[in-house]
Amino acid sequence: MDYGLTETQVMIRDLCRQVAQEKIKPIREHFDEANEFPHEMVKVFAEADLCGLYIEEKYGGMGGGIMDLAIGVEELSKVCSGIALAVAATALGTFPIILFGTEEQKQKYLPRIASGKSLAAFGLTEANAGSDAGGIQTTAVLDGDHYVLNGTKQWITNGGEAEIYTVVAMTNKAKGARGASAFIVEKGTPGFTFGKKENKMGIRASATRELVFQDCRIPKANLLAKEGMGFIVAMKTLDSSRPGVAAQALGIAAGALDEAVEYSRQRRQFGKPICSFQGVQFMLADMATQVEAARALVYAAARYIDGGGKDISKISAMCKLFASDVAMKVTTDAVQVLGGYGYMKEYPVEKMMRDAKITQIYEGTNQIQREVIGLNLIKESAAAKK
Catalytic residue positions?
363
Alpha-carbon distance 86 to 100, whole Å?
22
Residue 193: HSE in the Cβ half-sphere, 13 Å Cα cutoff:
5
Q: Specify whether the CB–CB gap between 373 and 314 falls below 8 A.
A: yes
DSSP state of 175: G
Residue in 177, 157, 173 with CA at minimum distance from that of residue 165:
157
CB 157, CB 139: distance < 8 Å? no
Q: Which one-letter DSSP state was computed for residue 126? A: B
For residue 152, give Cα distances in angstroms to 194, 224, 243, 365.
9, 19, 27, 21
Alpha-carbon gap, residue 222 to 13, rounded angstroms:
35
**Quick check: helix, strand or coil at residue 106?**
helix
∠ CA 278-284-289, nearest 5°, is 125
